[in-house]
Structures are given as C-alpha cells and as structure tokens.
Amino acid sequence: MTITSRPSAVAPSLLGGSIELPTRACRHSEPRTVSPWTGAPGTVGRVAVVGAGKMGLPLAVQFTSHGWDVTAVDVQASVVDSINAGLNHVTEEPGLTEGVAAAHAAGRLRATLDGAAAAAAADVVVLIVPVMLNDEQQPDYRYMDAAVEAIAPGVHPGSTIIFETTLPVGDTRGRFAPRLAAVSGLRLDEDFFVAFSPERLYSGAALKNLAMYPKLVGGLGPESGARAAAFYGSVLDAEVVLMSSAEAAEFSKLADTTYRDVNIALANEFARYADRVGVDIQEVIAAANSQPYSHIHQPGLGVGGHCIPVYPHFLLSRAPEMELVELSRRVNDGQIGLAIRTIQKALGGLEGVPVLVLGLTYRDGVKELAYSRALPLIERLAFHGAIVSAYDPLLSDAEITRSAAAPYRWGTPSDARAIITQTADPLFRSLDLGLFPAAEVLFDGRNSLRDLALPERIGYHGVGVPAAARLPAEAAVR
Ligand SMILES: NC(=O)c1ccc[n+]([C@@H]2O[C@H](COP(=O)([O-])OP(=O)(O)OC[C@H]3O[C@@H](n4cnc5c(N)ncnc54)[C@H](O)[C@@H]3O)[C@@H](O)[C@H]2O)c1
C-alpha cells in the first residue's frame, strides 16, 4: 500500500490541529458511459447514493461531476422533492447549491424514496446513512439496517455495494454482506461485490476535501476491492488507496478519529498541568509541534460532533480492553466540569447566577448540535442553580430555547456574571464587554479570546492559558 500525499509531507501548522493538504486537479478525460459498468478505465455508469444528507449530497454531486448518473435515495420525502427540484437542502456547504443545480440541470441527478428500484438500476450503490450510538454507548444500526433491507431486493449480478458510513470493525463482512447475499441469492465477490470505504470529509469543506484526502478502500474479496477502487478512481481526483481488506479500512477510520480524541485528551491533561504551573499551554504546544513528529492538538471544553466522540465507542464496543481510549473519552467529557468548577470558585457558587454561554453548535461554522458539549454544559450549569442564557450565530431563538437556555440577543445588555465560550466563532472576538456591567468571569473554552481586551473587573480563564500569559500564542513563540 502506498500513500503518496501524507499530511506530514506538507508544512504543518505550528499550532497543531487540522492540516490543509493541497487539492488535486482533475486528471480525468471525457468518460464513456457503459451499461453494465464493469470497472474498465475511462468508463462510467449509474450509481445510487443511499442517504442524501450532509455527506451523501456532496458525494452525489461529485459523482455527477465525473460523468456518472446518480440516483439519490432518502427516506425523507422533503429531501427527495428538494433534490428533484434542483435544490440543495444542506446548508453551510460551500459550492453545494451550485453543484446540485448544475447536476440537476444536466439531467444527471435525481432522487427517490425507492431504494430497491434505485439499486436495481445502478451499477454501484454507496451507503452513507448514519450509524450512531444508543443510550448504552453501543452502535445503533437502525438506519443502516433499514437501508440495507431497502436496497437488498435490487442487488443483481454485477452490483458493487460500498459502505461509506463509519462502522465497527467486521460489520461490512459480518453484519451487512450476509444479508445482501441472502436476499439476492448471489455469491459474494463472484456475482456481486461489497467493499468498505470510510468517508473522511469535514462538514463545511466536503467538496474541497474530496480532492484532498486519500480515499481508502477495502473489499470483502479481491474483485470487490478492485471494483470499488475502480469506481473511486473514476469519480475522485484524490489518490485512491486499495487496502488489504474491508476490516483494515474500517479500522483505519476508527484509528484516525480515536487518535484525535486521545490526542485532545492528552492536550487537555497538559492544559490542566499548565494551569497549575502557570505556563501557557498554547506556547508549549506550538513549540513542541515545531518538532515535525509532534502533532499535539488543542485543549478545550471537550469534543463534540457525531464523529470524534462517537467512534472511540465503536472500538470499545468490540475491544473494551482499550483502557487509554476509554480514559480519553472520560478526560474530554470531564472538561465542562473544569469550566463549572472555575466559575463556582470565582463567584463563590452558581445559585441564582446569570451565566451566558456563547456557541452551542459542536464547533464554530457548523450548524450541528450532535454531541455538542454545550448541551451538558447548560444542563450542569442549571443543575447548580445558574440562570443560563445562550447565543449562537448559527441558531434561531427557538433552537436555543430547545437547548434549555434563554436566547440572548447579540449586542444587547445582559446581567450575566459569567460568560463561557463553547465555540471559537470569530464573531465572539467582537464581544462588547461594556454591555455586561455585572460580568466578573470570562471562561474562554476554546482559547480563542486570549487577546481580547478585558476590563479589570473581569477575570480571564482559558484552558491552560493563565491570565498572565494572555499574549497571542504565535507572538509568544517568536
Ligand atoms: N457529517 C460529518 O461531518 C461526517 C463526516 C465524515 C463521515 N460521516 C459519515 O457519514 C454518515 C452520515 O452522516 P451525515 O452527516 O451525512 O448524516 P445526515 O444526518 O446529514 O444525513 C443522513 C441522511 O440519511 C437519510 N436516511 C436515514 N435512514 C435512511 C435509510 N434507511 N435510507 C435512505 N436514507 C436514509 C436521512 O434522511 C438523511 O437525509 C455518518 O454516520 C458518518 O459515518 C459524516
């Protein structure tokens, strides 16, 4: 296996975190449409994308842009109707509105509720519906099980079925392929083909990432791997990496995301120690990461979104002996306790104290509340008696109210005695503290306001950034 474009080959950011890779230009010539499609170079066919959400819709658009005819399959009639009208229902994804309109106008993109019919007409089926966690932190397969049941009657000789949704190791082979084989009566890797290829896109940069990150592919047999790799070779400009098995590809996604969770947990532990010894953790991380083998991420109020806090549990569901993984989850989830204890100490308690939380989505710029640390933060603040108000530039007042906080109007006076930032939205850097005459504490949960000018009455608390060290991190290393 070769990966030619590694992140470490690109000048890394001294501040850690995500590394921008260059996008690869399209090197495809005009393709030839064939039916059935058998993977020959330079040919394209028909693909069904099952789950036309934040990831599925950009994929559908990408596939059309490389000559494939795409049928998007979804269980929501509103999603199907919107796509069939040439409209993009996924907000905050640059280029997607134009992409959907162009694909629709070219007659290459249509949508349906009928998974079996779409699979019957397709050479390739890509499944990208969510697999999440249930209350016991075990994989919740309800959407994927339903999607597999829906397409199974349409699987035919020559079908290539690719799972892109992140799965526990072994599920493509052990849980889903047997069901497809049983319903279709076909032989795996001989009559039809099944592969796993993790989706690694970043919400908000999906179309750009498609030309950036190497596409990992693992088949359930040699022909399955080859077909899936040929498909991605025809639709992606990024490098396609054919791995030795579906299990290796499944594990790679869990390894990548769990590595980041463990890395952040380490940064959070470092930040606690930095607080204790009065050292600026951002200066430390920037300096440590100037050694090219060090890639320490940033500390903060914990990890949200439906990837990083979820996939360690997929690993743990099969490998409970991974103590480091389990501990890292606890460390990261424990960060909100740190914020609460800090404010309690600064104000002598939270009973009846007005507190403003800024940023409710799991990260700035992405309108997604899944596993956002803001939700348990608000719950815990309220549990201790605080009167919580909140603001997020991406959310309406009704959405804020559903998070159990009173909506705060940006730019209006507030009686908050403590302010906590839970995202690093750039807007918060223009916070007018004159509007907060009672404010005594700013807890900077993402260390994004470290250079904000504060009146003397307001105590600053970062995550491993002591008040005395409030110099911009980059200036501090120079
Ligand atoms: N969102 C991300 O940032 C991200 C990043 C990388 C990978 N992923 C992977 O992509 C998967 C999907 O994430 P998403 O953000 O696109 O989810 P999403 O919720 O935005 O979209 C999922 C879509 O699937 C549809 N759906 C549900 N059950 C279905 C079924 N049985 N048949 C057809 N459609 C069905 C839903 O109606 C919805 O439109 C995740 O589980 C994850 O494995 C997501």
Position 78 in a domain: yes
The minimum-distance atom of ligand 1 relative to the CA of 50 is 33
Rounded Cα distance, 252 and 233, in Å: 20
CA angle 304, 216, 208 (to 5 degrees): 60
Handedness of CA 242, 166, 65, 26 (dihedral sign): negative
> Nearest C-alpha to atom 38 of ligand 1 is from which residue?
53
Rounded Cα distance, 38 and 68, in Å: 13
Residues having CB within 6 Å of any atom of ligand 1: 50-56, 73-76, 79, 128-131, 143, 146-147, 150, 165-166, 199, 201, 203, 307
Reported as a pLDDT band with limits 50, 70 and 90, residue 472 is very low
Q: How far is the CA of 133 from the centre of ligand 1 (A)?
A: 13
Give the pLDDT confidence score for residue 456 in this predicted structure: 93
Which residue matches tokens 């050479």?
123
Query: Residue 25: exposed, middle, or buried by beta-carbon count in 10 A (0-12, 13-18, 19+)?
Result: exposed
Q: Which residues pair with 133 in a beta bridge?
A: 139
The minimum-distance atom of ligand 1 relative to the CA of 368 is 1
Inform me whether the pLDDT recorded for 111 exceeds 90: yes
Residues 234 and 370 placed together within one structural domain of the fold: no
Q: How far is the CA of 145 from the centre of ligand 1 (A)?
A: 13
Inform me whether the pLDDT recorded for 359 exceeds 70: yes
Query: Residue 269: exposed, middle, or buried by beta-carbon count in 10 A (0-12, 13-18, 19+)?
Result: middle
Position 1 in a domain: no
> Nearest C-alpha to atom 26 of ligand 1 is from which residue?
51
Residues 169 and 21 placed together within one structural domain of the fold: yes
Position 326 in a domain: no
Kindly report the backbone phi and psi dihedral angles of residue 172, in degrees, each rounded to the nearest multiple of 5, phi listed first. Answer: -60, -45
Position 432 in a domain: yes
The CATH number for 86's domain is: 3.40.50.720
Give the pLDDT confidence score for residue 19 in this predicted structure: 56
Tokens at 250, concatenated: 């499944």
Query: What is the DSSP code string of 234-287?
Result: HH-SS-EEE-S-HHHHHHHHHHHHHHHHHHHHHHHHHHHHHHHHT--HHHHHHH
Residues 338 and 237 placed together within one structural domain of the fold: no
pLDDT tens readout for residues 237-289: 999 999 999 999 999 999 999 999 999 999 999 999 999 999 999 999 999 99
Domain end, chosen from 191, 211, 244, is at: 244
The minimum-distance atom of ligand 1 relative to the CA of 130 is 41
The fraction of the chain above a pLDDT of 70, given in percent, is 94
Rounded Cα distance, 329 and 261, in Å: 7
Reported as a pLDDT band with limits 50, 70 and 90, residue 86 is very high
Give the pLDDT confidence score for residue 429 in this predicted structure: 96
Handedness of CA 80, 85, 88, 90 (dihedral sign): negative
Domain end, chosen from 219, 244, 269, is at: 244
The minimum-distance atom of ligand 1 relative to the CA of 53 is 21
- Cβ-based neighbours of 330, under 8 Å, separated by 6 or more: none
pLDDT tens readout for residues 420-462: 999 999 999 999 999 999 999 999 999 999 999 999 999 999 9
Give the pLDDT confidence score for residue 2 in this predicted structure: 41
Pairing outcome for strands 139-140 and 132-133: antiparallel
Rounded Cα distance, 129 and 199, in Å: 11
What is the number of structural domains in the chain?
A: 2
pLDDT tens readout for residues 213-234: 899 999 999 999 999 999 999 9
Mean pLDDT within 366-371: 90
Q: How far is the CA of 222 from the centre of ligand 1 (A)?
A: 28
Domain end, chosen from 187, 214, 244, is at: 244
> Nearest C-alpha to atom 40 of ligand 1 is from which residue?
130
To the nearest 10 degrees (0 to 180), the angle between helices 311-318 and 246-277 is 120
Position 275 in a domain: no
The minimum-distance atom of ligand 1 relative to the CA of 305 is 3
Inform me whether the pLDDT recorded for 155 exceeds 50: yes
Residues 62 and 210 placed together within one structural domain of the fold: yes
Position 276 in a domain: no
Q: What does each C-alpha distance from 44 to 25, 105, 240, 473 come to in angstroms?
A: 19, 19, 17, 50
Query: What is the DSSP code string of 328-387?
Result: HHHHHHTHHHHHHHHHHHHHT--TT-EEEEE--SSBTTB---TT-THHHHHHHHHHTT-E
Rounded Cα distance, 87 and 147, in Å: 23
Residues 37 and 186 placed together within one structural domain of the fold: yes
Give the pLDDT confidence score for residue 470 in this predicted structure: 75
Position 463 in a domain: yes
Tokens at 58, concatenated: 């950009």
| pTM (predicted TM-score) | 0.91
Rounded Cα distance, 442 and 424, in Å: 14
> How high is the mean pLDDT of the chain?
93
Handedness of CA 91, 96, 102, 103 (dihedral sign): negative
- Cβ-based neighbours of 191, under 8 Å, separated by 6 or more: 157, 158, 184
The fraction of the chain above a pLDDT of 90, given in percent, is 86
Tokens at 360, concatenated: 């409710």
Q: Which of 18, 50, 54 to mutate to test the pocket of ligand 1 (most atoms within 8 A of CB)?
A: 54
Position 263 in a domain: no
Q: How far is the CA of 132 from the centre of ligand 1 (A)?
A: 10
Helices (H), 92-141: 96-105, 115-121
Give the pLDDT confidence score for residue 204 in this predicted structure: 84
The minimum-distance atom of ligand 1 relative to the CA of 146 is 31
Mean pLDDT within 402-426: 97
The minimum-distance atom of ligand 1 relative to the CA of 76 is 37
Go through the chain and tell me how many residues it has.
Answer: 478
Provide the residue range defining the domain that includes 421. Answer: 333-477
Q: How far is the CA of 56 from the centre of ligand 1 (A)?
A: 7
Three-state SS string across 43-98, please?
EECEEEEECCCCCHHHHHHHHHHCCCEEEEECCCHHHHHHHHCCCCCCCCCCCHHH
Q: Is 330 left (phi over 0), alpha (psi -120 to 50) or beta?
A: alpha
Kindly report the backbone phi and psi dihedral angles of residue 79, in degrees, each rounded to the nearest multiple of 5, phi listed first. Answer: -65, -45
Q: How far is the CA of 62 from the centre of ligand 1 (A)?
A: 16
**Contact between residue 230 and residue 44 where contact means Cβ atoms under 8 Å apart:** no
Q: How far is the CA of 93 from the centre of ligand 1 (A)?
A: 15
